[in-house]
Structure 1
Amino acid sequence: MEAPWGVINVEPGWYVSSQQPEPAEAEAEAEAEAEELSPLLSNELHRQGSPGVSYSFSVFNLMHAIMGSGILGLAYVMAHTGILGFSFLLLIVALLASFSIHLLLSMCIQTAVTSYEDLGLFAFGLSGKVVVAGTIITQNIGAMSSYLLIIKTELPTAISEFLSGDHSGSWYLNGQTLLIIICVVIVFPLALLPKIGFLGYTSSLSFFFMVFFALVIVIKKWSIPCPLTLNCIEHYFQISNATDDCKPKLFHFSKESAYAIPTMAFSFLCHTSVLPIYCELQRSSRKRMQNVSNIAIVFSFLIYFISALFGYLTFYGKVTSDILQDYSKYLPHDVVVRTVKLCILFAVLLTVPLIHFPARKALMMMFFSNFPFSWIHHFLITLAVNIIIVLLAIYVPDIKHVFGVVGSSTSTCLIFVFPGLFYLKLSREDFLSWKKLGAFILLIFGILVGNFSLALIIFNWINNK
């Protein structure tokens, strides 16, 4: 099958048309070609009258795409892997995520396309494009529904903590009602924006909320004694049986450890947003975008590790899959905890419109690829996605199920499997080159970890039932 080198223009500013390039025969030629082809992206932006998005806003947008509800479940993961086990796994996932972004950018330069879906088209034809688009849609819908599930669960509690008196039965304390209102008033209008770069301001605000959240977790570690106690009607009830429960474990494995790598993969997945951000980056080049990705991953890693470590050292084995619920239980009247809860909920909420972009793009490429950009299609698909994620948020019982299933299936495919597989297919480098060997390792790691984790999670579900 002859590769279709023309690229379809679906949404303004995201795709560029090009002629078939000559693939690099060696690493040096590939590097030279990368620097020559990257300006095509900038030229297209200027041709459409857009100066592009600044370097700092691009970093904030990518960090915003990385950091979301996953930060709330990492302390739970540490409790079931141990401090050293968690540190090793988190570092491996972060490094592999950065390397897979490097492969994606390299392939985009070689093929002169700027779409994850079109990489699947180049590698395996129409079936490859459909599989990638379907995976992106499933992943992003799962991610957005997990964010809204947190909003539905935590926002009524956060509001009630600022109120005095009995307000039970009020509409503003009903999670489903608040969820629908927020999606109509905030999520849907932001998701309708035509370009992902417009969310730079909300992304920077969300990042500082995440930093505030991590700092509060560090500070409040000394406000909750261990063994853990609950204050109920001015009487303290010890719920931790022994001081052994207050000793951190360096390595620990249980059936819940099956959620570790899927949750981490879920937490570092930003690959569906990398290429749209790359298209809108000022003076775009592969090296410049790789630096954006590296900075975003490093800062996200630090915030993830700090919040997970001190969250675990606060609650130890009693930490739940949503650490906000733990703070509500043990520090119900703390003003700082109440404030940071609202901040993290707002940060998680603002992530939803950002994830809308790649999901909508994948849907438009699947169903309207032969049509010019239409605001009607743009509006209807955004509305349909919004309705689906609200329904899922209403009916999904536990956030760890979203982390586990989505993380072990679609997240591992988008971070590990697809970049490695596509690079092995598209690159003409020798198989013993470091990139191709790395791509092969990435592919095998993703297949093994994804299938093993998903099998364990399903096995746990069957046993629990």
Structure 2
Amino acid sequence: MRNGVVYSAELQSFDNADEDDLEDSQKSALEMDLEEEEEVFESQATLTKLHSKHTKYDDGRTSFSMSVFNLSNAIMGSGILGLSYALSNTGLVLFPLMLLSVTLLSLYSINLLLRCSKKEDCMVYEDLGFKAFGMPGKLAVFGSTFLQNIGAILSYMFIVKNEFPLVIKYMSGLDDGHEAWYVDGNNLIVIVTIAVILPLCLLKTLGYLGYTSGFSLGCMVFFLFVVIFKKFTLPCPGIELNVTLVTHNETCEESYISFNSKTIYALPTILFAYVCHPSVLPIYSELKDRSIKKMEAVSKVSFFSMFVMYLLTAVFGYLTFYSYVNDQLLHTYSRHDDILILIVRLAVFTAVILTVPVLFFVVRSSALELMKQKQFKWSLHIGVTFILLALCVLLVIFIPSIKDIFAVIGATSANMLIFILPAAIYLKLNDSLPFKKRIMPILFLTAGVISALITVPLVIIDWVHTVQNNETTAH
């Protein structure tokens, strides 16, 4: 029995040992599994963090050519209509140099924005301003963009005020001396705003209006071809011009370098024509296989395409009318029997009517964001729309000329968006760079500040002289 008891005890001890070993092995296996799962979880968490860091903005799907088209749309605007007037007050030598200089400087400012975007992993202009200077920086970008869009809306509405009366006169067979209420520009801008622009602006979403920018660009290209064609068919001054005051010294001869009281309007007009900077980063975020180098190539193709288009429009418009050119080129063509010009007017008029609501959506959204209204409310939506449109109509009625819009917006918001803000943001976000690498941005910023300090006072002085001259003429 003893042996049996011992054997039984030994078997029990072996069984207990096996159970202990099994439990130990199971515990160790379980601990290893938990450790492996923790490692996998940490690895996945790390990858998730890295992925979220690098894919904060999804890979773009827009091709190079379509990005060029989008940026060209963003650049092109009503500023093209004032370039011939700018050339007439600077000359055939000085104007191309100014236009080329602003083209190159605009490309440099875009380069600064792209560098800041890459450094901060941010593709919103306002957010870059916030990262650099906090809320004041964000408000500076926001305010400049808001003012630029308001200026664009005013310039488009001014085109309606100028061109729609001529279209009605042609359709009704009236002569220039006819002063019926329905051919008065101020009355027409009110009617068009209430009947067409207001209903479109009251829509909750843009819908198909977002596609009108391509139509607008097409209209301007068509306008360019007509301007070139008319240079060879209209001898100066072989048509009836919309000129209120012509002196005996004004002739149809080229001026290569010109300086007068209106020369100061040239630079702001060019700046107004080139502003697209709030659209650069969104277009960059949508670019397929995006990189700074590729976006710079998009910018170069777009800007130099617009440079050629702007230069041709300005030169051929000027060489058609010389010193008689109007501050809004299209308005200088005033013959009633010119079907081609009528088609251009109708095309530009349609493009303008459809583009104003698009710009207005941006302006209203900015205003609502400033009011910290995140939730849609019809009452606020309608109220802000009525107030902003009423303000725009009043300004268009009382502003004497479209060149004044180009001057004010070009000298202020356009100057801020092209020169001052990109340079200031870049210098603030890269304050650790050596001084040698900061020289160019500093000079760029200085040029913007000097430009604003010179152009704004001179424009105001010219306004004062114009008012005084008008009062003297009236007496």
Give TM class, smaller chain. 0.7 to 0.9
Per-residue deviation, residues 29-66 of structure 1 (Å, max 9, x unmatched): xxxx9xx97753226xxxxxxx8666555443432332
Which amino acid is 2:305 matched to? F
Residue of structure 2 in register with 1:64 after alignment? 73
Residue of structure 1 in register with 2:347 after alignment? 343
Residue of structure 2 in register with 1:394 after alignment? 397
Residue of structure 1 in register with 2:141 after alignment? 132
Is it true that 1:290 corresponds to 2:299 in the alignment? no
TM-aligned CA deviation for residue 405 of structure 1: 1.5
Give the Cα–Cα distance (whole angstroms) in 2 for the partners of residues 193 and 109 of structure 1.
Answer: 36
TM-aligned CA deviation for residue 438 of structure 1: 3.1
Give the Cα–Cα distance (whole angstroms) in 1 for the partners of residues 446 and 256 of structure 2.
Answer: 27
Give the Cα–Cα distance (whole angstroms) in 1 for the partners of residues 374 and 385 of structure 2.
Answer: 17
Is it true that 1:41 corresponds to 2:57 in the alignment? yes
Farther-moved stretch of structure 1 (355-364 vs 86-95):
355-364
TM-aligned CA deviation for residue 266 of structure 1: 0.6
Per-residue deviation, residues 105-126 of structure 1 (Å, max 9, x unmatched): 2212222233222222111111
Give the Cα–Cα distance (whole angstroms) in 2 for the partners of residues 249 and 423 of structure 1.
Answer: 40
Residue of structure 2 in register with 1:93 after alignment? 102
Is it true that 1:310 corresponds to 2:316 in the alignment? yes
**Which of 210, 219, 225 is equivalent to 1:209?**
219
CA contact (8 A) 2:162 2:331 kept: no
Give the Cα–Cα distance (whole angstroms) in 2 for the partners of residues 382 and 107 of structure 1.
Answer: 35
Secondary structure of the residue aligned to 1:255 is coil
Is it true that 1:421 corresponds to 2:439 in the alignment? no
CA contact (8 A) 2:234 2:320 kept: yes
TM-aligned CA deviation for residue 156 of structure 1: 1.7
Unaligned runs of 5+ in 1: 1-32, 44-50, 233-238
CA contact (8 A) 1:39 1:284 kept: no
Farther-moved stretch of structure 1 (66-75 vs 276-285):
276-285
Farther-moved stretch of structure 1 (259-268 vs 335-344):
335-344
Farther-moved stretch of structure 1 (274-283 vs 214-223):
274-283
Give the Cα–Cα distance (whole angstroms) in 1 for the partners of residues 252 and 81 of structure 2.
Answer: 21
Give the Cα–Cα distance (whole angstroms) in 2 for the partners of residues 259 and 321 of structure 1.
Answer: 10
TM-aligned CA deviation for residue 462 of structure 1: 2.1
TM-aligned CA deviation for residue 173 of structure 1: 3.4
Which amino acid is 1:42 matched to? D
Secondary structure of the residue aligned to 2:172 is coil
Give the Cα–Cα distance (whole angstroms) in 1 for the partners of residues 280 and 99 of structure 2.
Answer: 20
Is it true that 1:411 corresponds to 2:417 in the alignment? no
CA contact (8 A) 1:75 1:312 kept: yes
Secondary structure of the residue aligned to 1:397 is coil
Give the Cα–Cα distance (whole angstroms) in 2 for the partners of residues 177 and 252 of structure 1.
Answer: 37
TM-score, length basis structure 1: 0.78
Farther-moved stretch of structure 1 (91-100 vs 259-268):
91-100
Farther-moved stretch of structure 1 (190-199 vs 315-324):
190-199
Residue of structure 2 in register with 1:252 after alignment? 258
Per-residue deviation, residues 394-416 of structure 1 (Å, max 9, x unmatched): 22221111111121112111111
TM-score, length basis structure 2: 0.76
TM-aligned CA deviation for residue 309 of structure 1: 0.1
Residue of structure 2 in register with 1:439 after alignment? 441
CA contact (8 A) 2:210 2:358 kept: no
CA contact (8 A) 2:125 2:281 kept: yes
Farther-moved stretch of structure 1 (262-271 vs 192-201):
192-201
Residue of structure 2 in register with 1:145 after alignment? 154
Is it true that 1:117 corresponds to 2:117 in the alignment? no
Which amino acid is 1:462 matched to? V
Give the Cα–Cα distance (whole angstroms) in 2 for the partners of residues 317 and 413 of structure 1.
Answer: 31
Residue of structure 1 in register with 2:16 after alignment? none
TM-aligned CA deviation for residue 337 of structure 1: 1.3
Give the Cα–Cα distance (whole angstroms) in 2 for the partners of residues 453 and 431 of structure 1.
Answer: 32
Residue of structure 2 in register with 1:28 after alignment? none
Is it true that 1:459 corresponds to 2:442 in the alignment? no
Per-residue deviation, residues 136-171 of structure 1 (Å, max 9, x unmatched): 222221221121011112112123213336896777
Give the Cα–Cα distance (whole angstroms) in 2 for the partners of residues 193 and 221 of structure 1.
Answer: 42
Cα pair distance change 1:136/1:110, threshold 3 Å? same
Farther-moved stretch of structure 1 (164-173 vs 99-108):
164-173
CA contact (8 A) 1:197 1:277 kept: no
Two-structure CA RMSD over aligned residues (Å): 3.3
Which amino acid is 1:92 matched to? S
Give the Cα–Cα distance (whole angstroms) in 2 for the partners of residues 52 and 191 of structure 1.
Answer: 30
**Which of 374, 377, 382 is equivalent to 2:376?**
374
Per-residue deviation, residues 416-439 of structure 1 (Å, max 9, x unmatched): 1110111011125634565x4332
Pair member with larger Rg: 2
Give the Cα–Cα distance (whole angstroms) in 2 for the partners of residues 286 and 103 of structure 1.
Answer: 10
**Which of 103, 120, 130 is equivalent to 2:112?**
103
Secondary structure of the residue aligned to 1:143 is helix
Give the Cα–Cα distance (whole angstroms) in 2 for the partners of residues 380 and 287 of structure 1.
Answer: 45
Aligned length: 412
Decide which structure has greater helix share: 2
CA contact (8 A) 1:136 1:362 kept: no
CA contact (8 A) 2:269 2:407 kept: yes
Which amino acid is 1:319 matched to? V
Unaligned runs of 5+ in 2: 1-49, 469-475
Per-residue deviation, residues 352-376 of structure 1 (Å, max 9, x unmatched): 34433543443344222xx645365
Residue of structure 2 in register with 1:81 after alignment? 90
Give the Cα–Cα distance (whole angstroms) in 1 for the partners of residues 422 and 248 of structure 2.
Answer: 47
TM-aligned CA deviation for residue 263 of structure 1: 0.5
TM-aligned CA deviation for residue 388 of structure 1: 2.7
CA contact (8 A) 1:121 1:128 kept: yes
Give the Cα–Cα distance (whole angstroms) in 2 for the partners of residues 150 and 294 of structure 1.
Answer: 29
